[in-house]
Amino acid sequence: MSNQPTKQKLWGGRFTGKTDPLMHEFNQSLRYDQRMWAADIAGSIAYAKALNLAGILTKDEQEKIVQGLTAVGQEWEQGVFDIQPDDEDIHTANERRLSELIGPLGGKLHTGRSRNDQVATDMRLWLLTEIKHVVRGLKGLIRVMVERADKEKDILLPGYTHLQRGQPIRWSHLLLSHAFSFRADLERLSQLIPRISVLPLGCGALAGNPFVVDREFLAKELGFSSVAENSLYGVGDRDFIVEFMMWASLAMTHVSRMAEDLIIYSTAEFGFVTLSDAYSTGSSIMPQKKNPDSLELLRGKSGRVFGDMAGFLMTLKGLPSTYNKDLQEDKEPLFDSYDTVSASFKIAEGVIATMEVHAEKMREALTMDVLATDLADYLVRKGIPFRETHHISGRAVALAESRKCQLNDLSLEDYKQLSDKFSEDVQSVFDFEASVERRESIGGTSRKMIERQVSVLRTALEQMLPEEKA
């Protein structure tokens, strides 16, 4: 028999039996949490410096640990890190490799630190870094929508409520309505960041750090805005993950609603837009088909992201205080939500940038009945209360329908029978361009208001949240 000591897990001192192989696989999270390697290395380097300040490590020991951790990080970056069967998670894998590189000194790094505060720190640090990529993707989507809206202000189409034609609007107005939802998503994300940027490191397993490490130093070193004031809260809180997934669920709902509009408008029945071949697929049996699969996937992915959030909430709701192994289930839904929302913004940007807009088809969809409100407004300007003018306009619509003609085909005599306030200038109502131009209050669909909306969004893009540079 070998005289070599049995290799122990980091937590294995009180255990004499071996872990069931299936249990090891069930417990292991390295297959997915290894994507946090950079955050884990950064947190450990900062902690080594804090241990030096606390007198636990000498300056020389700190430097050797930092050099070793840097080398471990380079292995991950170069794709040569050798994962071992007993590596449970990114934390144990990095510490194991550190000790291989610098010897028993590596064991000092964990002094006063628990995987409980370590993983909570890694998660927050990882998310703070990755949010910058989300911001870049969302801003890219908003930009392409704003630029397209600015160039296509002349295109008119019906605005719909209940999927029934309501009033004429500018195509740009519709695009910008979705862009403003995404701007609100940027605002919500900015409000979330301070609650993510709370440092758990130094909370220990649950009761705090017994070596009086300088946690404010750690926060500054790692770029956190604040320090978790309560150690129980620090190691057990995952609200920031739930909040991000709630945010992602709402942002994807906005993506889905925009996708639904474009799916409808791309049908042969509407024919308002045609998707680029790059974002469409065909049918395996019907050669004529051009399916908006990109938009349908965007619509479907919104349900996936909501499911990630709802599933983790069900895990979280029944947990007792501080750390429980159930919390390991936070990573996969978070990573999936992040990956899905990031990809979705890029796909949506590509769809908007490359789709063809059919201005003539949109214009053809405008029928005179969408000016019925304008007809009522015409009489308001003649001094009749709106509730009465609404009724008169409705009777005009009914008359035109009974004659199978348009509102502008009715004669002046027809209108005078409805109200003596009608005169020859009633024909000025039946002008789609004039109708949209009358909507010149803030929020309206006139050219001036479209230009205002474009300006507001451009300013917001410049002012809200920094982007991760390519």
- Name the strand (E) or helix (H) holding 167: strand 164-170
- Phi and psi torsions of 418, nearest 5°: -85, -35
| pLDDT score recorded for residue 5 | 38
pLDDT in tens, 139-179: 999 999 999 999 999 999 999 999 999 999 999 999 999 99
Give the other-Cβ count within 10 Å of 143's Cβ: 17
- Name the strand (E) or helix (H) holding 160: strand 156-161
CB 100 within 8 A of CB 87: no
Amino acid identity, position 99: S
Q: Output DSSP code: residue 323.
A: -
Give the other-Cβ count within 10 Å of 370's Cβ: 22
Give the other-Cβ count within 10 Å of 281's Cβ: 15
Q: Which residue has the tokens 């000092």?
A: 108
**Half-sphere exposure (CA, 13 Å, Cβ side) for 31?**
7
Amino acid identity, position 329: E
Q: Which stretches of the chain score pLDDT less than 70?
A: 1-17, 19, 284, 466-470
Residue 209 Cα distances to 47, 112, 122, 225, 229, angstroms: 12, 6, 17, 20, 12
- Contacts by residues 459-467 (CB-CB < 8 Å, ≥ 24 positions apart): 460/183, 460/186, 461/139, 461/142, 461/143, 461/146, 464/183, 464/186, 464/187, 464/190, 465/135, 465/139, 465/186, 465/189, 465/190, 465/193, 466/132, 466/135, 467/132, 467/135, 467/136, 467/139
| pLDDT score recorded for residue 418 | 95
- Contacts by residues 18-26 (CB-CB < 8 Å, ≥ 24 positions apart): 24/86, 24/88
Q: Which of the residues are catalytic?
A: 162, 283
Query: What does the alpha-carbon distance between residue 444 and residue 459 come to, in Å, rounded to a whole number?
Result: 19
Query: What does the alpha-carbon distance between residue 99 and residue 108 come to, in Å, rounded to a whole number?
Result: 10
| pLDDT score recorded for residue 467 | 63
* pTM, 2 dp: 0.91
Q: Which of 380, 405, 381, 382 lies closest to 391 in space, CA to CA?
A: 380
pLDDT in tens, 28-54: 789 999 999 999 999 999 999 999 999
Q: Quick check: helix, strand or coil at residue 95?
A: helix
Domains of the chain, start order: 20-111 (1.10.275.10), 116-158+168-362 (1.20.200.10), 368-438 (1.10.40.30)
